[in-house]
Amino acid sequence: MTSVNVLISEVGPRDGLQSVKATMPTADKLAWIDGLYNSGLREIEVCSFVPAKMLPQMADAAEVVRHALTLPGLTVMALVPNLRGAEAALAAGAHKLTIPVSASEAHSLANVRKTRSDMVKEVQSIIALRNEQAPRVKVEVGVSTAFGCTIQGTVTDEDVVWIAAELVNAGANEVGLSDTTGMANPSQVRRLFNKVRAAIGEKTGAAHMHNTRGLGLANCLAARDVGVTTFDSSQGGLGGCPYAPGASGNVVTEDLVFMFEAMGIKTGIDLKKLMAARSFLQAGLPQEPLYGMTPEVGFPKGWTQER
């Protein structure tokens, strides 16, 4: 396989599944993850460690991690909102922890019932635990509502740069930017990633974009223009945030891979196998609508993917 130019980080099994009402059976979940892996995806956020009473969709998180660990070369990611979740994720053996920390004070209080400063302290506690128990595990923080908040409204660039710097000082390996509410535009994406990179350098992490207003792919391309090489996306466009009203729809993995591959930007993902993996998702959530322009219309005549 040719070298990879961008890393596609699949978040459907976590962000997607926790955003729908139905609970996917564990066996279907594992089959779907296998299908994603077989397409060439090598980083998958497989679950979140939260109380089952809050998110019954994630009640099997430890079992899902254990299965994902059997897939060679896969970076197994788990979202953890707090120290208790981090303890469970480390016990299960996750390779990488992702922690959401909001740039919007209002969203932070609604989402985790903590201020932004409280969340920085929580990240410090998680880093200390990681250093003690599993120093090789990476910790990435996703700055949610980085481009605007449905509760608060405008989120200033200064607030985003401040929280990113605070999180790096707390010990995070990477800090990415998330368009939780689907409010970003390409100009804003370039500007904000440039400002964050100026503040924290190579610890600038992934772009997590939503397609709420149809700008998801454009915003991913804008992020790549300014040096971002890791992109979160979700098969079938599943996902959203229950604490950001009206914000739905992650970037569709199939469309993102098609865009990059059509441009000659290598993802390491076999697009036909990725499309085939949708069948596992549909089997596990038969009533859930799936999205994606590429899956709907197919490949252009004569289009081939160089491997």
* Residue with tokens 């970076």, as numbered in its chain: 75
Cα dihedral: 277, 283, 284, 287 (round 10): 120
CA-based nearest residue to 206, from 274, 256, 140, 151: 140
CA-based nearest residue to 182, from 113, 130, 138, 237: 237
H-helix or E-strand spanning residue 67? helix 61-68
Q: How far apart are CA 249 and CA 235, in angstroms?
A: 10
Q: How far apart are CA 275 and CA 247, in angstroms?
A: 25
Which residue among the candidates 47, 149, 220, 241 is catalytic per the annotation?
Answer: 241
Provide the β-strand partners of residue 153: 149
Catalytic residue list contains 241:
yes
CA-based nearest residue to 24, from 228, 285, 253, 214: 285
Tokens representing 307 are 């491997």
CA atoms lying within 13 Å on the CB side of residue 304: 3
Q: What ranges make up the beta strands (E) of the chain?
A: 7-10, 43-48, 75-79, 96-102, 138-144, 174-178, 204-208, 230-233
Distances (CA, A) of 94 to 61, 76, 78, 119: 10, 6, 6, 21
Residues tagged active-site: 241
